[in-house]
């Protein structure tokens, strides 16, 4: 079925309400990006989400939107607590998959000659790839504590500093986590995967702050041109995958008993007021907390490895957490609806929270700047740091994009890489990569992604977040 | 299409995830091939001894739900129990239930090469069709 798009301005396209859609769709994009959406099914998915009960405002898509399962990736939707739903597929299997950016005091040019050595050390010391286990093997009580305490558990157990919690979204802990809501399978899968990076699009990247666009905010964030930074992308591992799977299957079986008709079975959901939704949210919070603990441990392993490899002290390295944001989550948040503050369940599926200056959920030091928004690109170009802007609260339930967004399937990417050495091509650009999987580098090659600069420009121009700085990769560890 | 004696399946383009089309000459063979196709995507096994029998029992609401859950069970065996399903024989198949015996190896990271991190078998686009006695299933895997 053809999805009609009405251009509202150069950065907004509306999908008018038709059929079973309860609200219109709104796609943030740009004239240079919009045409690529017509070739996959992501716009259909925006329309499908608009059919879900209790959706308010509009079914939203960020400029990095691409075809996912159920929700599009880059999709944002908010639901009223009385008539609305929560959908595990609208959060995704990798619950609280997210990014964490650390700044350092180290001049990147001083470590550039040793990037190969650093990447090799990180590849050795940070567990990556399919089937790896982490440095922490959790007993049942500790796993429950991780699920409830999140990043604070990691800090309490020696993986980082209290300061890190202040600079993590929601201080690295989601309230309402209840380990009793977890299946035996989820508990089992969570036991040995804490402190592991994973594979696919997860990565650990050494970067240099390449260009600053907003000196004041960059200074607040600790971003200075020429300095070394580290970006980590990982999530809740098999623990989160299992929780999503468990509840999706339960909701698939019960959705008709709630009187809900679905355009796509993967959108299975439960009314927010139901016991099933409450149990899911309690289990989802466990996974969100597990993911924050995971990234906290990964940061600690990274810090120790870099210090040991370069033979420098923690003071010399000066590694500080700039911020940690999640991409896949459903949260009860207060947003203005019809002129009144209203509690809504905001689903972000491959999207980032982007709070404007002055928001009460921000740490004191970011009150004037707005929330740091971390947008990784592909491993051959750039990543960006933005700051949340008032437009996000007005138009996108405080959300913006989460990355560049894929344009090639993995199979297409492998085909495009045939006869080429992507490793060599990246090395020629001064980027050293190590990966566990044989196909990973091909599947994740730069051409597989949209031009992140165009995506970032679209959210900047739309007023959802403002560009602060650009970072360039020097070394990449992949699963 | 797999051409090295493995289960008959084809990967189809999906921007973020992995689409897979599986075939079989009967519904039972389709389900057996689906399990083996998933293993083929998950891991390249090294040399092992005799696989051990492992009973599987899966219930679903309808054939498509059953197929998603059935493949989910094979995925869980690998991800949660570190077992590789090397072969499977379905003993009973109805529209909402399977009884089967899989033959499994323990996953050995020194011998077996993981290929793709598959997070889940999704319901998105999931379907089963039959044309002139040939069965085909379409599934999207979250990777």
B21 φ, ψ to 5°?
Answer: -115, 125
pLDDT score for B73:
97
Distance between CA atoms of A279 and A394, rounded to whole angstroms? 31
pLDDT score for B48:
83
In the residue annotation, A359 being an active-site residue is answered as no
Which pTM does this prediction carry?
Answer: 0.96
SS3 A39: helix
Residue among A66, A67, A189 minimizing CB distance to B79: A189
Looking at A327, A402, A460, A466, which residue is catalytic? A402
pLDDT band at B3 (very low <50, low <70, confident <90, very high): very low
Contacting residues of A for B64, CB less than 8 Å apart: 265
| B5 has a chain A CB within 8 A of its CB | no
* Contacts by A269-272, CB closer than 8 A, 24 or more apart: A269/A52, A269/A53, A269/A85, A269/A86, A269/A87, A269/A88, A269/A89, A269/A90, A270/A85, A270/A86, A271/A53, A271/A54, A271/A83, A271/A84, A271/A85, A272/A54, A272/A79, A272/A81, A272/A82, A272/A84, A272/A85, A272/A86, A272/A345
**Residue A295 gets which letter from DSSP?**
H
Chain B, 19 to 58: residues with Cβ < 8 Å from chain A are none
Distance between CA atoms of A231 and A227, rounded to whole angstroms? 13
pLDDT band at B5 (very low <50, low <70, confident <90, very high): low
What residue of A is the nearest CA neighbor of B62?
A253
Q: Indicate yes or no: CB of B115 within 8 angstroms of CB of A70.
A: no
Q: Which residue stretches of chain A have pLDDT < 70? A: 1
Query: Where would I find the H helices in chain B?
Result: 27-42, 63-81
Q: Tell me the pLDDT tens digit for each residue of B72-125.
A: 999 999 999 999 999 999 999 999 999 999 999 999 988 999 888 899 999 999
Distance between CA atoms of A354 and A348, rounded to whole angstroms? 11
Q: Tell me the pLDDT tens digit for each residue of B42-58.
A: 999 998 888 999 999 99
Q: Indicate yes or no: CB of A93 within 8 angstroms of CB of B119.
A: yes
- As a residue count, chain A comes to 479
| A66 has a chain B CB within 8 A of its CB | yes
Contacting residues of A for B58, CB less than 8 Å apart: none
SS3 A36: helix
Chain A, 331 to 360: residues with Cβ < 8 Å from chain B are none
Contacting residues of A for B142, CB less than 8 Å apart: 69, 92-93, 241
Q: Indicate yes or no: CB of A69 within 8 angstroms of CB of B17.
A: yes
Contacting residues of B for A252, CB less than 8 Å apart: 61, 65, 123
Contacting residues of B for A89, CB less than 8 Å apart: 122-124
pLDDT score for A132:
79
pLDDT score for A114:
95
**B6 pLDDT more than 80:** no
Per-residue CA distances from B132 to A132, B28, B129 (Å): 45, 16, 10
Q: Indicate yes or no: CB of B15 within 8 angstroms of CB of A408.
A: yes
Chain A, 211 to 270: residues with Cβ < 8 Å from chain B are 238, 241-242, 244-245, 248-249, 252-253, 264-266, 268
Give the minimum alpha-carbon distance from B28 to chain A in angstroms, rounded to a whole number: 22
A331 φ, ψ to 5°?
Answer: -135, 145
pLDDT score for A38:
84
Q: Indicate yes or no: CB of B122 within 8 angstroms of CB of A94.
A: no
pLDDT score for B1:
41
Residue among A89, A268, A409 minimizing CB distance to B15: A409
Q: Indicate yes or no: CB of B114 within 8 angstroms of CB of A130.
A: yes
Task: List strand residue ranges (DSSP E) for A213-337, in order.
Answer: 227-234, 270-271, 320-326, 328-337
Distance between CA atoms of B19 and A116, rounded to whole angstroms? 36
Contacting residues of B for A406, CB less than 8 Å apart: 15-16
| B114 has a chain A CB within 8 A of its CB | yes
- DSSP for A98-158, written as a single string: EEEEEEEEEEHHHHGGGHHHHHHHHHHHS--STT---S----HHHHHHHHHHTHHHHHHTT
Chain mean pLDDT for chain B: 92
Q: Are A276 and A286 in contact (CB under 8 A)?
A: no
Residue among A130, A189, A264 minimizing CB distance to B80: A189
pLDDT score for A276:
98
| A414 has a chain B CB within 8 A of its CB | no
ipTM: 0.92
Give the minimum alpha-carbon distance from A450 to chain B in angstroms, rounded to a whole number: 12
| A381 has a chain B CB within 8 A of its CB | no
| B111 has a chain A CB within 8 A of its CB | no
Residue among A94, A253, A407 minimizing CB distance to B119: A94
**B4 pLDDT more than 80:** no
pLDDT score for A1:
59
Contacting residues of A for B61, CB less than 8 Å apart: 252-253
| A408 has a chain B CB within 8 A of its CB | yes
């Amino acid at each position: 079925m053809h999805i009609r798009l009405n251009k509202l301005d150069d950065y907004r396209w509306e999908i008018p309400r038709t059929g079973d859609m309860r609200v219109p769709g709104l796609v943030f994009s740009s004239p240079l990006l919009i045409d690529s959406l017509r070739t996959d099914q992501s716009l259909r998915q925006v329309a499908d989400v608009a059919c879900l009960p209790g959706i308010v405002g509009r079914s939203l898509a960020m400029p990095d939107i691409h075809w996912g399962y159920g929700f599009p990736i880059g999709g944002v939707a908010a639901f009223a607590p009385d008539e609305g739903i929560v959908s595990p597929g609208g959060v995704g299997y990798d619950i609280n998959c997210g990014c964490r950016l650390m700044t350092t005091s180290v001049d990147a040019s001083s470590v550039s000659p040793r990037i190969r050595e650093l990447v090799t050390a990180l590849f050795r010391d940070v567990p990556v790839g399919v089937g790896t286990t982490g440095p922490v093997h959790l007993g049942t009580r500790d796993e429950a504590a991780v699920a409830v305490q999140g990043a604070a558990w990691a800090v309490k157990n020696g993986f980082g500093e209290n300061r890190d919690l202040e600079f993590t979204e929601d201080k690295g802990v989601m309230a309402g986590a209840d380990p009793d809501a977890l299946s035996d399978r989820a508990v089992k899968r969570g036991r040995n995967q804490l402190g592991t990076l994973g594979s696919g699009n997860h990565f650990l990247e050494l970067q240099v702050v390449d260009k600053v666009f907003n000196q004041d905010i960059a200074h607040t964030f600790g971003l200075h041109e020429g300095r070394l930074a580290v970006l980590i992308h990982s999530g809740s591992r098999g623990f989160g995958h299992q929780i999503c799977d468990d509840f999706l299957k339960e909701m698939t079986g019960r959705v008709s008993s709630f009187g809900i008709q679905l355009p796509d079975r993967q959108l299975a959901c439960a009314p927010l007021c139901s016991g099933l939704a409450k149990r899911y949210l309690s289990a989802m919070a466990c996974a969100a907390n597990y993911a924050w603990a995971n990234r906290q441990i990964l940061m600690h392993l990274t810090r120790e490895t870099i210090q040991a490899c370069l033979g420098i002290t923690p003071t010399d390295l000066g590694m500080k957490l700039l911020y940690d944001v999640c991409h896949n989550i459903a949260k009860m948040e207060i947003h203005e609806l019809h002129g009144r503050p209203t509690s809504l369940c905001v689903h972000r599926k491959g999207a980032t929270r982007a709070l404007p200056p002055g928001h009460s959920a921000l740490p004191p030091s970011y009150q004037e700047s707005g929330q740091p928004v971390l947008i990784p690109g592909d491993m051959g170009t750039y990543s960006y740091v933005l700051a949340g802007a008032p437009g996000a609260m007005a138009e996108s339930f405080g959300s913006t994009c989460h990355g560049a967004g894929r344009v090639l399937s993995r199979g297409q990417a492998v085909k495009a890489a045939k006869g080429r050495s992507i490793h060599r091509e990246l090395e020629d650009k001064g980027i050293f990569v190590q990966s566990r999987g044989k196909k990973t580098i091909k599947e994740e090659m730069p051409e597989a992604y949209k031009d992140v600069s165009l995506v970032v420009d679209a959210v900047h121009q739309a007023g959802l977040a403002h560009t602060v700085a650009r970072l360039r990769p020097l070394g990449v560890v992949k699963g | 299409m797999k051409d090295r004696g493995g289960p008959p399946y084809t990967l189809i383009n999906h921007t973020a995830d992995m689409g897979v089309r599986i075939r079989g000459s009967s519904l039972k063979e389709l389900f057996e091939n689906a399990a083996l196709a998933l293993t083929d995507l998950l891991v390249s096994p090294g040399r092992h001894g005799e696989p051990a029998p492992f009973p599987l029992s899966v219930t679903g609401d309808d054939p498509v739900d059953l197929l998603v859950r059935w493949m989910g069970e094979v995925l869980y065996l690998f991800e949660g129990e570190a077992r590789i399903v090397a072969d499977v024989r379905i003993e009973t198949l109805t529209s909402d239930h399977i009884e089967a015996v899989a033959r499994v190896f323990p996953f050995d990271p020194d011998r077996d090469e993981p290929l793709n991190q598959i997070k889940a078998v999704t319901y998105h686009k999931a379907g089963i069709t039959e044309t002139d006695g040939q069965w085909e299933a379409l599934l999207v895997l979250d990777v």
